[in-house]
Copies of this chain bind each other. A is one copy, B any other.
């Protein structure tokens, strides 16, 4: 039923290894023979059996990616997965999707995958500071991360630069009190990075600004955090939020206080998820170049260890109509 190299060989009147050579080292085969074999392959619809090939080559042709069962969906990571899947396809590999609990609890799943040689490498996302997965995996399998890591290769977006750009844009619109909305612990590398950019830009421009912290990445938490800032003395007229979800909460807090979002109080988000374009007023956000990030990660899969910092792109919408820097692609 299944076509094997044996049948192709019989059909083309050559040995099995010549068929294999046509596929894996065509230069070694006489053009006439090669053509005859290729024709037989085509006619019989032969494709090398993956398991046999993998066994012989000691590889899996698969890159592992974990989708942890999250309570709140992470739209950015889902979009990233699409981009990564497309990028890795160009190298003849596929993505093996598995689910594992977050943190230490999930390490066993990763270990088993390595021991079974079910994957050749891992691509990690949703990384946290001092991620246990890095300690557990680096050295045992190639690991590349979307997001800063202490070990292994990684690709990330320069959140500091993006937030500084937002602050500069808001200042150009006349804002002098620009708050920052982050997440409460655990403070991820991304949070610290973005906050540092906001802080630096504020300092350089001589602006004031306080920090509010959301309990988690939800609209409700963002609304509470923003509300606290807005109700305090010297309330901010602009809020730079750590995520679109938190920013949406901030927009609601603004509206609930009878203020006009984008006019009385400007709000910016991060990641440019589908939420940003879907709401009114549209949410100014920072788009991460997911296709480029994915391509770099695929490159790092085969290259030596490296770190890549890419630039995000400010997407200006009505919630904070900042001027767009040219060349910020």
Known contacts A51-B55, A65-B97; 13 additional CB pairs below 8 A are A45-B111, A45-B115, A52-B55, A69-B82, A69-B86, A73-B75, A73-B78, A75-B274, A78-B78, A89-B98, A94-B118, A95-B96, A251-B280
Closest B-chain residue to A97, C-beta based? B95
Chain A positions 61-88 with a Cβ under 8 Å from a chain B Cβ: 62, 65, 67, 69-70, 72-73, 75, 78-79, 81-82, 85-86
Judged by a CB distance under 8 angstroms, whether A176 is at the interface is no
B49 in contact with A55 (CB, 8 Å): yes
Among A2, A55, A99: residue with most chain B CB under 10 A: A99
Judged by a CB distance under 8 angstroms, whether A112 is at the interface is yes
Q: A73-B78, A96-B96, A99-B89 are in contact. Are A50 and B45 (CB under 8 A)?
A: no
Report the minimal beta-carbon distance from A70 to chain B, rounded to whole angstroms.
Answer: 7
Closest B-chain residue to A115, C-beta based? B47
B115 in contact with A73 (CB, 8 Å): no
Closest B-chain residue to A252, C-beta based? B280
A94 in contact with B97 (CB, 8 Å): yes
Judged by a CB distance under 8 angstroms, whether A288 is at the interface is no
Report the minimal beta-carbon distance from A128 to chain B, rounded to whole angstroms.
Answer: 19
Closest B-chain residue to A93, C-beta based? B98
Judged by a CB distance under 8 angstroms, whether A204 is at the interface is no
| Count of identical protomers in the assembly | 2
- Residues from chain B with a CB closer than 8 A to the CB of A239 are none
Assembly CA distance A48 to B118 (angstroms): 10
Judged by a CB distance under 8 angstroms, whether A303 is at the interface is no
Assembly CA distance A315 to B79 (angstroms): 26
- Residues from chain B with a CB closer than 8 A to the CB of A118 are 50, 94
Q: Which of B60, B78, B79, B89 contacts A50 (CB 8 A)?
A: B60
A255 in contact with B274 (CB, 8 Å): no
- Could you write out 27 A-B pairs with CB less than 8 Å apart? A45-B115, A47-B112, A47-B115, A50-B117, A50-B118, A51-B51, A52-B55, A54-B54, A67-B85, A69-B82, A69-B86, A70-B82, A73-B82, A78-B78, A81-B97, A85-B97, A86-B99, A89-B98, A94-B97, A95-B97, A96-B96, A96-B97, A219-B277, A219-B278, A251-B280, A252-B280, A275-B278
